[in-house]
Each structure stands twice: as C-alpha cells, then as structure tokens.
C-alpha cells in the first residue's frame, strides 16, 4: 500500500511540475511563460544565443534560376537574382529571416489578434483597433488586389519567400518572442501583408480633427475658433512655390459644407501625437559642389526595436536598387537605383471625415440616409483571448463608412469615411516594386499613378539632373471648409464626390531655386483650387530647411549629411524674440538665459529645458479655457506656433484672459505669471538646473514594450520641431543621402539594427552612429564580387530544385 501511495504521490507531483512548467497550468496572479519550454537549453531561449553565420545552400522549386544573398558587415542583405520574381521571393525570405516576429506582430496588431497571443491585457488594444477598421480596410484591399493577377503574382512571390523560411524553421530557431509568449509562426499570406500595409496607412493618415473642431466651434464661437485654429499661416514655405498656376477639373466638388453639427459631450476620440513628421530635400547640380544632384531622405516614424525599416539591396539583370522597406511589404520604399533616388514625407492631409449616424434604434441595425432607413452591414469578429473565452465584437458599416461606436445608446455614433478604406481601382502595393525599376523621371511619375495611400510627398532626383516632387495619393476633392467639421450623415450628398485627378495633384520639376524641400507643411499656396485641410501642418522644420538651402549657393556632401543632425529650433527663436519685449526685473533671471541661447537643442545645455517648460507653462495658462472644456469634450490646442503668433500680433487677444481671475490678462501678464510660477517651483528645470538630456529622454521600446529588449532613457539632442526631430518615442527613422553622379554613392543610418532578435549583435548596433548622426557608406554593388570578402558575413545560395 505504501508503495502504491508513493508511486501515485510522486507521479502526480512530477506530472504537476511538468504541466506547470509546460504552461498547461497557469497561476492567475503570477503570469509566467511556460518555463520548461522557455528555459529549455536545447530548444528554448538559450538556443537563441547561437547565431550561425556559416554559408548556406538551399534549394527551391519556386525560383526560376539560381540566386544569391550576401550579408555584409552590418548584416544588410544584397540580393542577386535573375528576375524580379526571384528577387521578391528572396526579399520575403530575408525579411522573414531577420524580422519574422515584427511582421507577425504588425499584422496581428492591425487585425485585432494581439489578445490571442498576449492574453486579456491586450484585449482593449484589439477592441480599440476594431474601432478604426484597419482589418476591414485590408479586406477591401485584398479583394481588389485579386483583380490584378499579374501584380498579385508578384506579391505572391514575396509571400512564398516568407513561407519558405517559415516552413523550414525549427522550433529551436523561433524568434525568442515566440518562445516567451508560447506560440508558433503562421504561414504568411496576402491578407497579412495587407494588414501591415493598412497599419502604416493608419499611422500616417488616420485621425481627424472633425470632432474637436465641431466642439470648439460650437463652444468657443465661430470668431474665436477661426482666429485660433483657422488663422492663415504666412510664414510657412509651401512645398510647391507660390507662383505655380493650377488648372482645375470642372467636375470636382466645390460646394462648401455648411452643416452645423452641435458639440458632442462625453465622447472620447484619439488625439494626434504632436511632432510627428518627416523631412526631405534635394538640390540639383547647380547647388552641389560636385555638380551632381543630391537627395536627402529623413522620414520620422515611431522609434522602436526592431526598427520600423529593414535595409536591403536588390539586383537583377533589369535593375539594381537599394534602400529600406517595411518588413512584410515587397519593394523598396525609400532608396535609389542606378538612375534615380526617391524618398517620401507624409502629406498629412485630412484623410478621414466623420459623419453623424441616425440609427432607427439602439440596435444599430438600420440607419437613415436620404429619407429612408438602410440596413447596416454587420461585421462580427471573434477576438480570441489567450487563456480566456473569446470576445465577439460587432462593427457596423454604413454608406458613410465604418461606424465609430462612441456611445452605448448609439446616439452619438460617428461614421468614418477613411480614404485608405476606399476602393482604389488599382494594385497600389506595386508602387514600391515598380519604383525600384524606374529609369527616368517619366517612368517614375508613371509608377506613382498606381499609388493610393497613405498620401506622400514623393521627392526624387535623377542621374540626368532632374529633381522633382509629386504630392501623391488619393485625395478627396474638397470644396471650401469640407472636412473641417463633422458632417450630416443623413445626406449622401455630403459624401466625397470624387478624388483629385492625378494630373491635378501638385507637382514640381526642376525649380529655378535649384532645390526642393518638404517637411509635412502645407503642400501648395492658397491658389490651389481644392480645399485643403492638414492633420499636423509643420511650421518650423520647413522654414529651417528652406532658409539653410537658400542662404548658400553651393553645398558639399558633408554639409548635406550634417543637416540631418541640425537641432536649431525656429520655434524657440520665434518665441524668445516674441517675449523679449516683456523683459523686466521680475523675469530677467529666467529670460536672460534664453536670450543668450543659440536655439540649439543640445542635450548638455540647460536652455532647451528652460524654453520647453516655459513654452508649455505659457501654453497651458493661455489655453486654460480649452483645457477646462476638455473635461467634457474632445478638444485640441491650437497648433504650437499660434501662441507665438498671438503674442506678436494680438497680445490682448481674449484667449490670454484667465477664466478664474476678475482682471483681464494680456500676453505679458501670462508670460510673467508663467515665469513666476516656474521660479517658485522647486522642481522646475530652472531651479534644478536640468539640462535637456535629463529633462527629455528618448526611448526605443521593443515591440512588446519589454525593457529587457529595449533601449531606454537616452539623452539626445534635437526636438520634434527641429530638423533632427528626435522626440521621446518618434524621430528620424532613416537618414539617407544619395549623390547621383556617374557612379551612385549613398550613405544612410537608422536607429536599431538589421536583426529582429534582441540576442543578436545586429539588433541595435547602429545606435551609436544614429545618435551621433554618422551615416554608413552603403555598399551599392553590381555583383557579389564587388563586396570585399572581409565585409561578407554570410552567403546564402538558393538553387533551383
């Protein structure tokens, strides 16, 4: 009996430990990975320590001819294939090899599938994502892409490459995040690719000021709203110079929107992250010391690990291209080939319009449009939750778009018409596959016709001397004020009537100035015939870049590279110059430090920290009326340059009056009050003598936000409103300089590293160079032999089966 008990007791105990360490038994209050699988030294996380750089020979029946991939000393893959199809197969293969978890995660994030692997903590993120409808937009895109079999076949080649890697992946070689979370990679497909595509569309073109504008117009009154939010900005240089003459398509919508929707209380809506943006500029031969055009790319995106970009070269007998791609998407988004270089900044035009929804009842089944009720399309999704029962979320789709459920009683719902969720009528994903092959300006422009969203300022330079920029994508053709406010969603006449024709999109080629720049500022002057609304118009970076390029006749390559690291702030300069007139004994101690400053956001200088805290303090005191509205309404502050404009032009504007005092304050009073409060505050940067690098930290979080895999608390120069737009979590994501001489030469650097694995030495090895703004010379090779042997880390040869 004793032996039977002993056997049962020990067997159960062993089984209990096995099941616990295998992840079958979970402790609610102690969320742990399956420790047995995770810490298994043979197949678990320890095996991710081993990186083999031995040369590999593979065989595949998908490729047409033998191909080769060489990884250079920074682990940049150089793909040498005999056809575009084979090249895309290899692009898929190497992107999966280096960034599989990142691709998977982006696709899951876009399609509300995070809770499936992360558990209940990610459920709110998944449900929030459903509100945006990126998965729905991806479904529309895939349905449409399938109508283009030739182009879809190219995308399929990329997918085949990803799956070739996944199908040969052993459990011990899974990226460590899979081991930590305890799931397996799934085969890649067109829908997953579309999710990544729409994820980026969301980052760059989702969001609307309509609700905030509607609330503010109703609550502040038309006059104050107009003076604070629609006040013309006379300092910005439009991307396309003012003298450009436009023709107009007579059939475009030009009727002003006159709907007056009342403010809507107690509904929340996402806010923009201030300071998101990008720079690009190009000079032609007349302004370059070598006589060759130089193009500089500087997209600003979320700073994270792994980097948002992956760098690669693709060489076939027909083209040779180099640049960066988003993992999960074929082609090269920002880069160059033997003839052209190209780079983008976000246009930032308003791509989302909101409409009221008048439901028949709270069931949200039928909605009113043009006098009759129509059935809404119900889109039900099972959101799987790891360790918990699934949650079912219903989305409602009307003629006005995907419905944002903003209230339980369905009375304040808003339908969202989002351009990237509209049918495009073309295989837009092929744009960046085609651009790799562009031989000249004409071809480049013809390839841009296919592109739809998110709208971009495509800057290019060509070896033959052209520099040009096309503001490109699908834009609603708007009449005056269309898109500024929420519109009446019971009339289909309020829907977008048509898009701006490609031929009428703003375009500039070889300006007499010899340079072109864009920084998310206004695209055109006011003589552009279509009404134009911006999500986040840049006011400062574009002026700095334009002034720098205008003030010198000739630039060297070194100066072009140095511009990427320029941390001078016009915002700081404009502000200090505006408030200098308020100098007196009470604020001299504070103001003098700013007057002596060179307006450079240097991490070791105290002045940037003083400026930021003063600017923020004055902003919050000035716009106290708006902050008090924020308790009940979704509102927003005016653009940051508006405070400076008001101090300069309307120092007695009613907005400076503090609501809680009987006196009527002016800009000077607010300035003095701001300084006085900061001098009294023992935690202020002034009293603590905090330098900028201490006051503001830059964080590059791993995609799972695990500190162990992240690069945190970095002291950095720059500010989102300087050219070197390093922010807390956003910033320069790919600094690229290309000189288009007889032999193309290029330099580039991005934050992070090529490998997605935190255990790899190539995970964040670019960080020191990125922080110092030191570009790497890029190996733009013609043959594998062009890369010096000592610079080759690994070679993969793929033979046709």
Partner 1 sequence: MKSIKLSIVAVIIVLTIVFGQEVLPWWISGLISFICGFFIINKRYTAFIFPFLVSGLTWIVLAFIKENSAEVSIVNMVSEIFKNVGKIPIFFITGLIIALVNGFFSLSGNYFKRVVSPQPASRKIR
Per CB under 8 A, does 71 bind partner 1?
no
Rounded to a whole number of angstroms, the minimum distance from the CB of residue 1 to partner 1 is 10
- Choose which of 6, 31, 149, 768 interacts with partner 1 (CB under 8 A): 6
Per CB under 8 A, does 25 bind partner 1?
no
Report the C-alpha gap between 149 and 158 in whole angstroms.
14
- Choose which of 184, 498, 761, 799 interacts with partner 1 (CB under 8 A): 761
Stretch that binds partner 1, among 31-39, 182-190, 414-422, 437-445 (CB under 8 A): 31-39
- Cβ neighbourhood burial of 630 (10 Å; 0-12, 13-18, 19+): middle
Burial 248-263, CB ≥16 within 10 A → b, else e: eeeebbbeebebebeb
Burial 516-532, CB ≥16 within 10 A → b, else e: bbbbbbbbbbeebebbb
Question: What are the structure tokens assigned to 572, written together?
Answer: 């700081």
* Nearest to partner 1 of 98, 519 (CB atom): 98
Contact 627, 658 (CB under 8 A): no
- Three-state SS at 541: helix
User: DSSP letters along 464-498, please?
Assistant: TS-EEEEEES--B---TTTTSS-B-TT-GGGS---
* 731: β partners: 301
- Three-state SS at 34: coil
- Choose which of 27, 28, 29, 50 interacts with partner 1 (CB under 8 A): 50
* Nearest to partner 1 of 497, 704 (CB atom): 704
Rounded to a whole number of angstroms, the minimum distance from the CB of residue 49 to partner 1 is 3
Residues 286-305 that bind partner 1 (CB under 8 A): none
Stretch that binds partner 1, among 409-417, 650-658, 668-676, 760-768 (CB under 8 A): 760-768
Per CB under 8 A, does 317 bind partner 1?
no
Rounded to a whole number of angstroms, the minimum distance from the CB of residue 755 to partner 1 is 10
Rounded to a whole number of angstroms, the minimum distance from the CB of residue 53 to partner 1 is 10
Rounded to a whole number of angstroms, the minimum distance from the CB of residue 307 to partner 1 is 16
Phi, psi of 607 (to 5 degrees): -55, -45
* Nearest to partner 1 of 15, 56 (CB atom): 15
Rounded to a whole number of angstroms, the minimum distance from the CB of residue 23 to partner 1 is 11
- Choose which of 26, 68, 172, 697 interacts with partner 1 (CB under 8 A): 172
Closest to 552 measured CA to CA, from 737, 240, 287: 287
- Choose which of 26, 51, 365, 384 interacts with partner 1 (CB under 8 A): 51
Stretch that binds partner 1, among 16-24, 57-65, 113-121, 677-685 (CB under 8 A): 16-24
- Choose which of 28, 40, 740, 800 interacts with partner 1 (CB under 8 A): 40
Per CB under 8 A, does 266 bind partner 1?
no
**Assign residue 414 a region: left if phi > 0, alpha if psi is -120 to 50, beta otherwise?**
beta
The alpha carbon of 428 is separated from its chain's Cα centroid by a whole number of angstroms, namely: 18
Per CB under 8 A, does 42 bind partner 1?
yes
Rounded to a whole number of angstroms, the minimum distance from the CB of residue 27 to partner 1 is 14
Q: Report the DSSP pairing between strands 456-462 and 366-369.
A: unpaired
Per CB under 8 A, does 509 bind partner 1?
no
Q: Report the DSSP pairing between strands 310-315 and 77-80.
A: parallel
* Nearest to partner 1 of 262, 761 (CB atom): 761
Per CB under 8 A, does 763 bind partner 1?
yes
- Three-state SS at 202: helix
Tokens 């040869």 locate to: 797
Size (the chain), residues? 801
Per CB under 8 A, does 18 bind partner 1?
yes
Question: Residues 6 or more apart from 705 whose CB is under 8 A from it?
Answer: none
Residues 681-720 that bind partner 1 (CB under 8 A): 706-709
* Nearest to partner 1 of 58, 759 (CB atom): 759
* Nearest to partner 1 of 48, 110 (CB atom): 48
Strands (E), 464-596: 467-472, 507-509, 515-518
Per CB under 8 A, does 331 bind partner 1?
no
- Choose which of 25, 31, 46, 423 interacts with partner 1 (CB under 8 A): 46
How many residues form the binding site for partner 1 (CB under 8 A)?
A: 41
Stretch that binds partner 1, among 6-14, 105-113, 552-560, 686-694 (CB under 8 A): 6-14
- Choose which of 24, 25, 35, 270 interacts with partner 1 (CB under 8 A): 35
Report the C-alpha gap between 395 and 556 in whole angstroms.
55
Question: What are the structure tokens assigned to 87, written together?
Answer: 């090249």
- Helix, strand, coil % in the chain, rounded to nearest 5: 35, 20, 45
Rounded to a whole number of angstroms, the minimum distance from the CB of residue 599 to partner 1 is 39
Per CB under 8 A, does 47 bind partner 1?
yes
Rounded to a whole number of angstroms, the minimum distance from the CB of residue 75 to partner 1 is 11
Report the C-alpha gap between 651 and 645 in whole angstroms.
9
Rounded to a whole number of angstroms, the minimum distance from the CB of residue 101 to partner 1 is 15
Q: What secondary structure letter does DSSP report for 603?
A: T
- Three-state SS at 674: helix
Report the interface residues with partner 1, using CB under 8 A. Answer: 3-4, 6-11, 13-14, 17-18, 21-22, 35-37, 39-51, 172, 180, 706-709, 758-761, 763
């Amino acid at each position: 009996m004793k032996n039977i008990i002993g056997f049962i007791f020990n067997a159960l105990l062993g089984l209990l430990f096995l099941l616990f360490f295998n992840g079958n038994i979970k402790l609610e209050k102690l969320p742990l990975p399956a420790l047995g699988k995770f810490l298994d030294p043979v197949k678990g996380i320890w095996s991710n320590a081993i990186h083999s750089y031995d040369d590999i020979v593979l065989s595949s029946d998908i490729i047409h001819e033998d191909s080769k991939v060489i990884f250079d000393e920074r682990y940049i893959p150089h793909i040498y294939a005999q056809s575009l199809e084979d090249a895309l197969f290899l692009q898929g293969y190497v992107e999966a090899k280096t960034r599989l978890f990142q691709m998977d995660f982006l696709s899951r994030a876009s399609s509300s599938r995070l809770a499936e692997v992360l558990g209940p903590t990610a459920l709110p993120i998944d449900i929030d994502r459903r509100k945006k409808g990126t998965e729905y937009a991806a479904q529309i895109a895939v349905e449409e892409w399938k109508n283009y079999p030739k182009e879809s076949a190219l995308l399929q080649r990329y997918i085949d490459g990803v799956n070739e890697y996944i199908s040969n992946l052993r459990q011990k070689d899974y990226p460590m995040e899979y081991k930590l979370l305890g799931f397996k990679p799934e085969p890649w497909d067109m829908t997953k690719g579309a999710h990544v595509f729409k994820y980026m569309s969301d980052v760059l073109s989702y969001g609307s000021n309509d609700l905030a504008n509607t609330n503010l117009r109703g609550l502040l009154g038309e006059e104050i709203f107009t003076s604070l939010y629609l006040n013309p900005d006379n300092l910005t240089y439009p991307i396309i110079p003012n003298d450009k003459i436009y023709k107009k398509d007579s059939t475009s919508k030009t009727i002003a929107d006159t709907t007056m929707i009342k403010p809507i209380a107690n509904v929340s809506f996402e806010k923009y992250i201030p300071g998101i943006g990008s720079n690009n500029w190009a000079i032609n031969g007349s302004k370059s010391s070598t006589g060759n055009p130089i193009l500089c790319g500087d997209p600003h995106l979320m700073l994270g690990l792994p980097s948002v970009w992956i760098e690669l070269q693709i060489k076939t007998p027909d083209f040779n291209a180099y640049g960066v791609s988003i993992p999960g998407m074929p082609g090269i988004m920002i880069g160059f080939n033997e003839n052209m270089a190209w780079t983008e900044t976000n246009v930032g035009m308003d791509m989302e319009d909101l409409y009221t929804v008048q439901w028949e009842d709270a069931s949200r089944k039928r909605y009113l449009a043009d006098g009759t009720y129509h059935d809404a399309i119900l889109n039900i999704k099972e959101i799987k939750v790891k360790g918990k029962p699934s949650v079912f979320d219903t989305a409602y789709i009307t003629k006005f778009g995907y419905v944002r459920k903003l209230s339980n009683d369905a009375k304040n719902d808003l339908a969202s018409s989002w351009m990237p969720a509209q049918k495009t009528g073309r295989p837009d994903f092929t744009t960046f596959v085609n651009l790799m092959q562009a031989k000249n300006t004409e071809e480049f422009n013809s390839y841009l016709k296919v592109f739809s969203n998110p709208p971009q300022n495509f800057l290019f330079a060509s070896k033959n001397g052209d520099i040009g920029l096309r503001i490109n994508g699908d834009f609603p053709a708007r009449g005056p004020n269309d898109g500024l406010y929420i519109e009446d969603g019971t009339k289909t006449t309020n829907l977008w009537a048509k898009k701006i024709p490609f031929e009428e999109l703003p375009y500039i080629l070889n300006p007499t100035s010899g340079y072109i720049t864009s920084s998310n500022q206004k695209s055109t002057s006011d003589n552009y015939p279509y009404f134009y609304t911006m999500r986040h118009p840049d006011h400062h970076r574009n002026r700095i870049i334009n002034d720098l390029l205008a003030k010198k006749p000739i630039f060297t390559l070194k100066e072009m590279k140095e511009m990427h690291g320029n941390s001078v702030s016009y915002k700081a300069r404009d502000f200090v110059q505006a408030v200098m007139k308020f100098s007196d004994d009470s604020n001299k101690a504070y103001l003098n430090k700013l007057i002596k400053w060179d307006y450079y956001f240097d991490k070791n200088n105290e002045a940037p920290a003083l400026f930021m805290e003063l600017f923020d303090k004055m902003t919050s005191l000035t716009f106290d009326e708006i902050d008090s509205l924020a308790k009940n309404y979704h509102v927003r502050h005016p653009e940051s340059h508006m405070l400076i404009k008001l101090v300069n032009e309307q120092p007695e504007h009613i907005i400076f009056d503090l609501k809680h005092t009987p006196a009527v304050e002016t800009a000077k009073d607010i300035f003095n009050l701001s300084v006085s409060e900061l001098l009294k505050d023992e935690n202020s940067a002034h009293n603590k003598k905090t330098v900028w690098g201490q006051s503001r930290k830059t964080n590059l979080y791993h995609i799972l936000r695990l500190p162990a895999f992240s690069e945190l608390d970095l002291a950095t120069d720059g500010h989102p409103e300087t050219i070197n737009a390093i922010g807390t979590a956003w910033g320069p994501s790919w600094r690229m300089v290309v000189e288009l001489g007889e032999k193309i030469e290029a330099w580039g650097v991005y934050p992070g590293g090529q490998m997605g694995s935190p255990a790899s030495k190539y995970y964040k090895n670019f960080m020191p160079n990125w922080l110092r703004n030191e570009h790497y010379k890029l190996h733009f090779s013609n043959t594998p032999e062009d890369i010096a042997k000592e610079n080759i880390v690994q070679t993969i040869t793929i033979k046709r089966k």
